[in-house]
Structures are given as C-alpha cells and as structure tokens.
Amino acid sequence: MVIEMPTQSDGENRMIKANKRTRFSVAVSVVCALMLLASVPVKAADATNPEADRKAFQAFFFAKFPKVAKDDFANGPYAVNEGMRKQWKEIMEFPPYDPALDEGHTEWDKPFANGKTYADCFDNKGEGIRQTYPRFIAATGQVETLEGAINRCRVENGEKPLNWMTGMMASLTAVMAESSRGKPFDITIPDDPRALAAYERGKEFFYARKGQLGMSCASCHVSPAGERMRGDILAPALGILAAMPIYRSDWGSMGTTIRRISSCSAQTRSLPLEDNGEDYRDLEYFLSYMSNGIAIAGPGTRP
C-alpha cells in the first residue's frame, strides 16, 4: 500500500479553499445581517405620521376616561373630577372671563390709527376661525399662533405688538375663541417637510424631559391625567388647548396659551423659553393637532 503524501502545492490548495470558504461564510453572514436589519419594522414613533399619532393619542384618552364625552375633554380637570366639576359649574354662573370678553369686544371694534380693524386681517373677519390656529404659513415656513396673527395684524397696521401672555392679548383671543365655540379643532399639516418638521419638534418638546424636576409635558398630562399632584387635578392633554385663553384662579387673571406653557415650564424648574418663540409655537401645533375634532370651548376657567 502506497500512502500518497500531500505535496506542498496540495497544502496551498487546501488553504486557498479554506480561505474561500471563510470569505463565503463572512459574506453570507453580512448579507443575512443586512436582510435582518431591513426586515425590522420601523417603529411607529420614529416615523412622522401625524394622523396615526392623533388616532392613537385620542384612543388612549377615550380608553382612560370612558365616561368622559369627547368634547368634554376641553374642560380639563373639570371633565375628569366630579368634585371640581361641581365647583366649576357654580363658578360659571358668573364666568370670571366675562370682563375680558367685554374689553376684547371693545378693542376688536376699535379702528387702528390707519382706520383699519382686526377684522380686516383675518379670514371671515375673524369670526369662527380660532379652531384653525395655529397654522403653518408656507411663506415663512413657520407655525403662526393666534396671538402671532394678532400681533402681526397690529404691526402691519402701524400699531405696537401686545404682550403675548395676558392683558389685551388674552381679551382679543377670548373674543375669537368665543366666536368658535362648538367648532371642532381643525388643524392642518400641509404636505410640506417644514410643516412636518415643526410638528415633529412640537412632539419632541411634549415628550422630552426638562427642568430640574426632569419632567416632560407628558409626565403630567398623559398617564397621570385625572390624578392629583399636591392639590391640583392634572388635566388630560387631549383638548387641553381647546378652552384657551383661560381665567386661572391661581393667576387671578386671564392668560394665553403661551402664558400657560411658559408657567408649566417654570413649574418643572425649566427656564421658560422665548414668548411665542419657535419651541412654544411648535408645541402648540402638535398639541392642537392631537385635539383635532374636539370642540373649542374657550374662553375657559381653570383652578
């Protein structure tokens, strides 16, 4: 029996074959890994889909508060706490925002120095349009709030802008809200990447933790909604802007949406950002879109 000893060239051949097998295995592994990655579904939260967000957002609150009627979410803590609701009904016998409405109506009808009025700046003379604010303005590529539209109207007519938070601004937005009572929020997000980006920034602001207390808007107004935080009942995020502007007993005066967001920031020990700046405007855009379909109930009252 002759045993054929491997030659040097046979050894080299085996090494080459082994190398080829290794390379083939690596290639197959890489292809498999890539296929696996491609097959992982994109998390819904990672993709911008405002309408899917809105449906899921509203479904959460309808499931959490099955006894609360859809439009009642505009009434915040009064919709989810029976004791507070009783107090609120008594308060509403003489609504504390009435003086602001009177002041607002007078101002609304008063012509600017150039003879024009607020009504000249808005669609339908400003009647029944509050539910469409905030709006994405294609010309500027930015979100415009109702307060922003009022101040733009003033500046374009040679008047000084109003304080964003309270006073006459709150009175004017109260007048516009009153004319939209019962009309459902109807916020549109046009097919414009800038509008979607604004929506996404607003969503991030809502969910991102801020301040020394490490709280986000959602920390109070989503899962713990309806529960107590010290003496307060936390309002559900759904419909939370539908009653704006509000007379807040804690303030003893009227306040706009901007004032409420700013004071919320301060309550988490986060330094409030620019009044009516992009951050707050985008947050309002997101939050209002989430409430599409909830009827406007402003002006409102809050504890």
Site residues, other proteins (CB under 8 A): 43-46, 53, 56-57, 59-60, 203-204, 207-212, 214, 216, 218, 222-223, 266, 269-271, 273, 279
CB atoms inside a 10 Å sphere around CB 79: 24
CB closer to other proteins out of 66 and 115: 66
Cis ω for the linkage preceding 66 (within 30 of 0): no
CB closer to other proteins out of 119 and 218: 218
Look up 264 and say whether it is catalytic.
yes
| List 153, 217, 220, 264, catalytic entry | 264
| Minimum distance of other proteins from residue 69's CB (angstroms) | 21
| Minimum distance of other proteins from residue 91's CB (angstroms) | 31
| Minimum distance of other proteins from residue 67's CB (angstroms) | 21
In one letter, which amino acid is 98?
D
CB closer to other proteins out of 203 and 248: 203
Residues 74, 287: Cα–Cα separation, whole Å: 13
CA angle at 70 for the pair 288 and 99, rounded to the nearest 5°: 65
Label residue 299 left, alpha or beta by phi (over 0 means left) and psi (-120 to 50 means alpha). Answer: beta
CB closer to other proteins out of 4 and 46: 46
Nearest to residue 189, comparing CAs of 229, 136, 240? 136
Q: Write b or e for each residue in 176-214: b if 16 or more Cβ atoms lie within 10 A of its Cβ, otherwise e.
A: bbbbbbeeebebebeeeeebbebbbbbbebbeeebeeee
| Minimum distance of other proteins from residue 45's CB (angstroms) | 4
Give me the active site residues, please. Answer: 264
